[in-house]
Amino acid sequence: MATLQIRDLHVSVADATGGSREILRGVDLTVADGQTHAIMGPNGSGKSTLAYAIAGHPKYEVTRGSVTLDGEDVLGMSVDARARAGLFLAMQYPVEVPGVTVSNFLRTAVTAVRGEAPKLREFLKEMRGAMAALSVDPAFAERNLNEGFSGGEKKRHEILQLELLKPKIAVLDETDSGLDIDALKVVAGGINRFREEPGHGVLLITHYTRILRYVQPDFVHVFVGGRIVEEGGPELADTLESEGYERWVKAGAGAAS
């Protein structure tokens, strides 16, 4: 059973004056085995900050609160230890790594997470099967990591990692960004295969409801002003589609004044 628990999480980042600015202002969230949670909110609300804080990005300072995975303190772990413990982050803007092929990167990542190097023949069979499921050209494996990749290729590669690494909890930061409808369906299919396996949970961060037509969430959370301001089932996404975020943004501004 995989359970990610976030309690009263406050996170700040350095500002231009040398001080700090609080982005997250008390986030409470539990993602359990078999659950898919969608976090939706306007630009600048802190959604990506939440993802990077969970993953351990050094830019983001946790000033209060806790994050645990199956009862273990995530915030006390190094970034690589978090990955080995079962956390995965699909980044909104994956970085290019010239000179490192996709195949070498994936085998290195699998080795780090599993604790031993898979036999080459078995790994190649596993990788090619995952690539086929995502409609990825086999030649993709020999390209430099994210170098010259289209937006759709970068996002498919993130889901390829997800399928091979099989973490406990997947944090997917705007995985639908920049995808055309065909690529969106393929990526959503990869997410659905992952979440249907026992022992997996998904935290899906998005602006739009379109990916939720293909990846059905169990819970939807409205994120405004660095905190969750509303929670509900899939029907809440329909409300957001028709009404937007305006009433929650206004309510948050009123509460802050």
Q: Does pLDDT of 207 surpass 80? A: yes
CA angle 39, 30, 225 (to 5 degrees): 40
Q: Does pLDDT of 254 surpass 70? A: no
Six token digits for residue 132: 């086929």
Six token digits for residue 112: 């780090």
The model's pLDDT over 151-174, given as tens digits with 9 standing for 90+, comes to: 888 888 999 999 999 999 999 998
The model's pLDDT over 1-19, given as tens digits with 9 standing for 90+, comes to: 789 999 999 999 988 888 8
pLDDT of residue 89: 94
| Adjacent-strand bridge partners of 9 | 27
> Is the CATH number of domain 3-90+168-256 3.40.50.9100?
no
pLDDT of residue 116: 93
CB of 20 closer than 8 Å to CB of 12: yes
What residue segments make up the domains of the chain, in order of their start?
3-90+168-256
| Adjacent-strand bridge partners of 61 | 12
pLDDT of residue 257: 42
The rounded distance, in Å, linking the Cα atoms of 237 and 147 is 35
The rounded distance, in Å, linking the Cα atoms of 76 and 162 is 24
The model's pLDDT over 84-115, given as tens digits with 9 standing for 90+, comes to: 999 999 987 788 788 999 999 999 999 999 99
pLDDT of residue 59: 93
What strands, in cross-sheet order, belong to the sheet with 169-173?
A: 87-90, 169-173, 201-206, 36-40, 219-224, 227-232
Shortest CA distance to 9 belongs to which of 42, 48, 50, 38? 50
pLDDT of residue 95: 82
Q: How many of the other CB atoms lie within 10 Å of CB of 207?
A: 17
Mean pLDDT rounded to a whole number for the chain: 92
Average pLDDT rounded to a whole number, residues 211-223: 95
Average pLDDT rounded to a whole number, residues 124-141: 92
pLDDT of residue 253: 56
The model's pLDDT over 35-76, given as tens digits with 9 standing for 90+, comes to: 999 999 998 899 999 999 999 999 999 999 999 999 999 999
pLDDT of residue 16: 81
The rounded distance, in Å, linking the Cα atoms of 149 and 172 is 19
pLDDT of residue 101: 94
pLDDT tier for residue 256 given thresholds of 50, 70 and 90 = low
Residue with the bigger pLDDT between 250 and 31: it is 31
Q: Does pLDDT of 22 surpass 50? A: yes
Q: Does pLDDT of 229 surpass 70? A: yes
